Structure 1
């Protein structure tokens, strides 16, 4: 990999970290991570955007405090919100797959972002239910959806649209640089 794509990937991994620290604490915290993930894929493309998300997750896995609440370590993945962390990579991979098949148009970006979010929500909520049951007690899927998904639908939709608008401005500028 050449220096410029490597630097852009690192900058996006750092941006995801900063966006993780901007948080409203709840059971599943409100953060700007999904915005940064959408922006990474929109600006860098699916391959490098997915790589940026992977680097971010690896930084957290080795213990750097890059996750929400300045947390990190493998224990973050084992907690009730660990499935959403893995889901962030799934979002980027879904978007990369759609980009590879259908190109990088705005409609593809929006549709693949919605599908990626659905995959993240499904994986993260299933993980949440399993881990909550193991640590606290049983929780129904509907209760988990009301806790982990429904409050995030509108904010995540806004983040997706904002990331599209911003990436359509930034991607050409980075390509010229």
Structure 2
């Protein structure tokens, strides 16, 4: 008895199913954590309107209108770039790799934020202006983003 060759249609179906499997393996499902990520992104945006040091607002540091050193400015770029834009891109595309980039990037941004707070506290004369609520709120929101992205990425 001779074996019949596999029909061409079944070979094409098998190749298509393997392609679908690869695409599904690279996707994430953020589930209810997506709401937490979205709220934290809004908090980061809103905190840029609050004072970060004295009466200087976060957006002024981002725009370079206020000279507060490299650490607060670096934190504004990482918080906005990774925390807001990176998170929005990861939520929209649902890519597993982007979820990890956001998790690691937000973690690095938290370290930048803590250093930014520290830089505002060191050498502040009595009655001077240290870290204001906007900076602290942004660090906490980016910390929440980092934890949320780690949870999402590990769920896969």
TM-score, normalised to structure 1, is 0.32
More helix by share: 1
Select the structure with the greater relative contact order (CA < 8 A; seq sep ≥ 6).
2
